[in-house]
Amino acid sequence: MGGIGPWKDRMIAPERALPGRATPMAIDNVHFVIGGPLRDEFAGYGDARFGMGCFWGAERMFWSMPGVISTAPGYAGGYTPNPTYREVCTGETGHAEIVRVIFDPKIIGYGALLQAFWENHDPTQGMRQGGDIGTQYRSAIQCTTPEQHALALASRDDYQKRLTAAGLAQITTEIVFPAPEFYYAENEHQQYLAKNPDGYCGLGGTGVSCPVGTGA
């Protein structure tokens, strides 16, 4: 993982972004770990989107949580339609690496997903996450409902108080509603750490607990 182009610490201007393509990424529509689809309407389930740096480790964290019925890594928040991984790594698409999380709200609440998000990466680092440097590694919450947006903002404010008390910096996480279009990553990135158990995982938190309740 790692950016390879000049756009590492700032968003590219929309007019300079790569043009992309009209054809969506072709993927095998089955989750390697959970089974079931990656692409679906998922009627009756919640749809959450998180950027925590490298999407390999973030996806594994979420698929391990009870009540999560599907996860998929992809790209969102930029300008290039249907980008490739190599294009995203140049910084010239504007996208972040995002994990889409489909969850059963009867089993797990959005608040529990937020708690895992805040506690398992460093949301203060701007356009990077640890040694992974580039706009694609920025921290992001892309909300699919107004209720998610309100809870995400409240959790950010609460978590900032705890980070400040611990002597840590200001949160740089992008929190947006409505969620921008999500573009699925290539097959080799889907459930990568299940297919490659010894693969790279840069996931790591600040050590500060998050006050979001698991029932929210």
Task: Report the 10 Å Cβ neighbour count for 159.
Answer: 24
Phi, psi of 32 (to 5 degrees): -65, -30
Beta strands in the chain (DSSP E): 46-52, 68-76, 96-103, 128-129, 132-133, 139-142, 174-176, 183-184
Find the catalytic residue in 54, 89, 143, 210. Answer: 54
Instruction: State the Cα–Cα distance between residues 206 and 163, nearest whole angstrom.
Output: 9
Instruction: State the Cα–Cα distance between residues 105 and 110, nearest whole angstrom.
Output: 7
Clarify whether 143 is annotated catalytic: no
Nearest residue to 61 via CA among 198, 203, 200: 203
Query: Catalytic amino acids?
Result: 54
